[in-house]
Structure 1
């Protein structure tokens, strides 16, 4: 072993076990529910939108935009951008994340309740699986936040996975809707 390897402290991954297990269970439960639940085929509460698909497209677009706020504010908070972090950056990060999550709830509810897990079209299969993964990784991140002693890469990796999942969800739903159906409200 080199001196550098001997000096590096061993990372304790045990505190990460519960958040990752809970996140995996959330993703699995959503997938199982989506598969065994008989889809209703109709939307519930599209409040202000002409139909469910425009509602889903626009709410997902809002969450997608806020995901970029999340990444930017995280980069500023962790000193990865050459700017001084303003005192409100943590508040911006927390509230943009909360709002992004809230925007996804009616979308996920409609997807699971009205449509269920679908696997006959590749785009829809990817969307369904990544949607379950998003809520699983989000759960893991939220449960990991208050834990002390986690490796420094934990939150950036979980946040990056949540961001990536949200981008894939937007690409397989909202972008598809806007380019196939058109821009509607």
Structure 2
């Protein structure tokens, strides 16, 4: 398998729309999270004892798949010396994203953006940032005139945000409450 190489950049102009839309996603989620009156009711906890275990386990699944994303991306870019099929990267990313949807929906619908506890504030902001940077990455992906660093940087930021989300939610839950299903 050969490494992926993008054409030489015509500048940062091709990133303007993806970054602008990603920024709007961050802002929209933050504004909605603050303006919406949280219901306090858990939604969609099928198979779990409650909302917190559901969120902890789904986020943990996305967290594990984020590492698959990093390894498969390194392989696609020719950095590992082994060939991992690009489909592994695509499908692990899709599945990781799908695992985050019920978690984000519950967070926004039932809890809103909270700022009274530093861990929860960091978690709320990271959640907004994750979806914004993910949006920017997906919109930049088909563009062939972006700088070579575009996908690694946006992917790295999405990975970092997801790790931060896991640390401020699942890791906290498993260490403070215990491992529950």
Q: TM-score band (shorter)?
A: over 0.9
2:3 corresponds in structure 1 to none
Deviations, residues 52-74 of structure 1 (Å, cap 9, x unaligned): 00000000000000000000000
Pairwise CA distance, 1:10: 6.7
Of the three residues 91, 94, 107, the one matched with 1:95 is 91
CA RMSD of aligned residues (A): 1.0
Rounded Cα–Cα distance in structure 1 between residues aligned with 2:120 and 2:147 = 35
Answering whether residue 45 of structure 2 is matched by residue 49 of structure 1, we say no
TM-score (norm 2): 0.94
TM-score (norm 1): 0.92
Structure 1 stretches of at least 4 aligned residues deviating more than 2 Å after TM superposition: none
Answering whether residue 77 of structure 2 is matched by residue 78 of structure 1, we say yes
**Are residues 72 and 39 of structure 1, via their aligned partners in 2, closer, same or farther at CA, if it must alter by over 3 Å?**
same
Task: Return the index of the structure with the highest Cα Rg.
Answer: 1
Deviations, residues 124-166 of structure 1 (Å, cap 9, x unaligned): 0000001000000000000001112111100000000000000
Of the three residues 135, 140, 149, the one matched with 2:136 is 140
Of the three residues 171, 174, 177, the one matched with 1:178 is 174
Aligned partner of residue 124 in structure 1, secondary structure: helix
Pairwise CA distance, 1:20: 0.2
Aligned partner of residue 184 in structure 1, secondary structure: coil
Unaligned runs of 5+ in 1: 1-8
Unaligned runs of 5+ in 2: 1-7
